[in-house]
Amino acid sequence: MPPEALRTPDSRFRNLPDFPYEPRYAEDLEGYEGLRMAFIDEGPRTAPVFLCLHGEPSWSFLYRHMIPVFLKAGGRVVAPDLYGFGRSDKPIRQEDYTYSFHRGSLLALIRKLNLQNITLVCQDWGGVLGLTLPMEEPERWRRLLVMNTSLPLEPGSSIVAEDLARPEDQRKTGFGKWHAISQRTDDMPVGHIVNMGAGQKLTEAEIAAYDAPFPDKRSKAGAIVFPRLVPFSEAQDGYAIGRRAVGFWNEWDGKSFMAIGAADPVLGVQAMEALRAEIKGCPEPMIIEEGGHFVQEWGKEIAEAALERFDGV
């Protein structure tokens, strides 16, 4: 039996700014029967794929500045909404959200659509999950565009794990402080959080678009629980997978591009340089000095620079 889930009414998604794309739905993903996953699928079916994976607490709307660049260049863009976010179904119980639950759903979607020649475009949880996908079927993957995200990297992960064991008011790391803030509420102000992480540059209409998937508190179980799921220790689901992925990227032979929102207090330049050191051949990153955690809000220039690095699609 699928978990009990809510479905956000379509009316919540009317008049989205700069996001005219019609959603598609997968209701029969292997292992997820009975749950509906929404995704954007634009561009020629046979074109190289840009798989754009969002994080917490955003949805595929986050890529609205990058999608047109990839499409204009001749690419195909697939941008799913994780369960619990965007137009996808939202399990009500926090216990239904696990690392493996979400990772498995992305692998199932990739296989259902039989995506090939993929450029992974990821940030936040889109990277925490997405960076572990190519090692399962490497022949599907070609390039990487990575922004403000992480894998379990030592000693950093152990430092954060130790920090999370401290009382909330004594935490020192950026993630430890965010974790404390996020777990104090049962009604996360999603649009406000994304706006803060985007340098408060969003319009009222854009803030409303980030709020659109969540009509009430019951729909926010995923948004609230996700910070607790980030794997920082061996006891957590996803840690071993993430460590295995580090080894994969150590031997990566595809092209890569990194963009960093330098104003991100959690996954800024230092954290991203540690990740870059694990990605074989990853060049000097593009630094967006004013860019925050949700650096896709500067996505047009990032996408254009990545395509230049990649010599087109």
Active site residues: 124, 264, 293
Secondary structure (H, E, C), the chain: CCCCEECCCHHHHCCCCCCCCCCEEECCCCCCCCCCEEEEEECCCCCCEEEEECCCCCCHHHHCCCHHHHHHCCCEEEEECCCCCCCCCEECCHHHCCHHHHHHHHHHHHHHHCCCCEEEEECCHHHHHHCCCCCCCHHHEEEEEEECCCCCCCCHHHHHHHHHCCCHHHCCCHHHHHHHHHCCCCCCCHHHHHHHHCCCCCCHHHHHHHHCCCCCHHHHHHHHHHHHHCCCCCCCCCHHHHHHHHHHHHCCCCEEEEEEECCCCCCCHHHHHHHHCCCCCCCCCEEECCCCCCHHHHHHHHHHHHHHHHCCC
